[in-house]
Amino acid sequence: MRRIITISRQFGSGGRELGKRLADHLGIAYYDREIITEIAARSGMAVQYVDSIIEHRPMLAYPITIERTFDFMADLRENPQFKVLAEQHTIIEEMARKSDCVIIGRCADYILRNENPFTVFVHADIESRMQRCRIREQGDHKLSDDELKSSILKVDKHRAKYHAFFTDRKWGERENYSLCINTTGLQIDKLSLAFAQYLKELG
Amino acid sequence: MRRIITISRQFGSGGRELGKRLADHLGIAYYDREIITEIAARSGMAVQYVDSIIEHRPMLAYPITIERTFDFMADLRENPQFKVLAEQHTIIEEMARKSDCVIIGRCADYILRNENPFTVFVHADIESRMQRCRIREQGDHKLSDDELKSSILKVDKHRAKYHAFFTDRKWGERENYSLCINTTGLQIDKLSLAFAQYLKELG
C-alpha cells in the first residue's frame, strides 16, 4: 500500500523537522520547499515570487466572504496567484502518485483526501514553541517575548485562514487528523524515531 | 522515570481495548474497573452502588452552576456520592505512585497532572464507532442506527460534562493531550503494538 503522510503544524512546534527526519527514517520522499521550486521551474516565475504568493499572500487579495459569481471565477483563473496555487495543487497530486512521501503543509491533507493519507497535526504549548524559535533566531535584533509570541500566533492565524479558504475543514481540529502529536518537552530526533516505529508497526 | 499513561476516549473508539493491550505489551499495571472494586472494598459499599455513582451520576445531583458556598461544601462532604469520588481520587493517586500504569478515564489525566503523565485521547468517526458497538452488541434487541448513534453521543456528552465538572480542561481538546489517536479504520491489536513501540522509543 502506498503511504502518504501529510504534516500540518503550528509554527515553532518542530513539525517540519519531524517530517524531514521521519522521511529519512522511512526512506521515502520529502516535499516542502521542493514544491515551490517545482512551481517556479514549471511556470517560469521567480522562486521569490512564487514564494510570496504561496507563503505570504494566499488569499489572492480577495476577501474570503466575496460572492463567488461566474465573473469572479473567470477573473480568478486569469490571476497569476491563482495559477500558482492551481499548479501547487497539481504538483502535490503528482508527487503523491509517484511514490511514498511526507508532505509538509500546503493543505496536502485535504488535496489528497481521496488517497487515504496518514494525516498528522503537530502542536506544542506556546512556551515550548517560543523556546524552539529562540534557538533558530539569528542576527543581532532579538525579538522581545511579546513580539515573538505575537509573531508565532500570527503565522498560525494565517495558516488557519489559508486552510479555511481552500478546504471545508478547520485547521488543527482533532477530528481531521490520524494523529495529533504534542511535541512539548520532547526532542524531535527521538520523537521522529518513535513515530517511524509507529508507522512501520501499523504497516 | 515512572511512566503513567492516561487514556480518555470517545465511546466506541476502542480506547479501553487499546489501553488494556498497551499495558500488556509494556508489562505494566492496568486500571479501569479495578478502581471501582477498590472503592467498594474500602468503603464497604456495594460495587453496583459505587458504579452507579461513578459511571452514571457523577454530577452529585447538584447543578453545575450552583454557587459553591461554605454551606454547599460542608453539605457536599457528607454526601456519599462525594465520598466515593474523593476515594476514587485518592486511589488513582495511590495507584500512580505504586508503579508504571495505564489508567482509563476518570479524569486521571487531570488528577495526576503534576506527575507528568502521558495523556492520550482516543477518538474515531461516528460510523466506525457505531460499527465497533455493533460487534459488541448482545441480546435480541438491536438498536436502530439512529438509537445507537444517539446513545453513543449521549455517553460522550456525559463524559464531557463529568470532565468539565471536575477539571478546568475541556474533554477531548487537542491541547490537553500528549497524543490524540484516531482509530478510524484501524485494528486495535495492531495499533496497540505500534503505540507500545512508540512509547518504548520515546523512553
> What letter would DSSP give residue A174?
G
Rounded distance between C-alpha atoms, residue B190 and residue A202, angstroms:
6
Note whether A186 contacts B: Cβ–Cβ < 8 A. Answer: yes
pLDDT tens-digit readout, B104-155: 998 999 999 999 999 999 999 999 999 999 988 777 778 899 999 999 999 9
CB A198 to CB B202 under 8 A?
Answer: no
Note whether B92 contacts A: Cβ–Cβ < 8 A. Answer: no
CB A125 to CB B201 under 8 A?
Answer: no
Type of residue numbered B198: Y
In chain A, which residue ranges form alpha helices assigned H by DSSP? Answer: 15-26, 33-43, 47-51, 70-77, 80-98, 108-111, 126-136, 145-166, 188-202
For residue B74, name the pLDDT band (cuts at 50, 70, 90). low
Identify the pLDDT of residue A73.
59
Rounded distance between C-alpha atoms, residue B139 and residue B177, angstroms:
37
Identify the pLDDT of residue B45.
87
- Residues near B27 by beta carbon (within 8 Å), at least 6 away in sequence: none
Compute the radius of gyration of chain A from its Cα atoms. Answer: 18
Q: Which residue has the higher pLDDT, A66 or A131?
A: A131
Minimum mean pLDDT range among A80-84, A144-148, B36-40, B133-137: A80-84
Interface of B with A in 100-139 (CB under 8 A): 121, 123, 125
Rounded distance between C-alpha atoms, residue A12 and residue B161, angstroms:
33
pLDDT tens-digit readout, A116-168: 999 999 999 999 999 999 988 777 778 899 999 999 999 999 889 888 888 88
CA distance B42 to chain A (A): 37
Note whether B202 contacts A: Cβ–Cβ < 8 A. Answer: yes
Instruction: Write down the pTM of the prediction.
Output: 0.89
Chain A contact set for B175 (CB, 8 A): 123, 125, 182
pLDDT tens-digit readout, A164-178: 888 888 999 999 999
Identify the pLDDT of residue A86.
86
CA distance A85 to chain B (A): 30
Give the residue among A136, A149, A176 at the shortest CA–CA distance from A8: A176
Identify the pLDDT of residue A162.
84
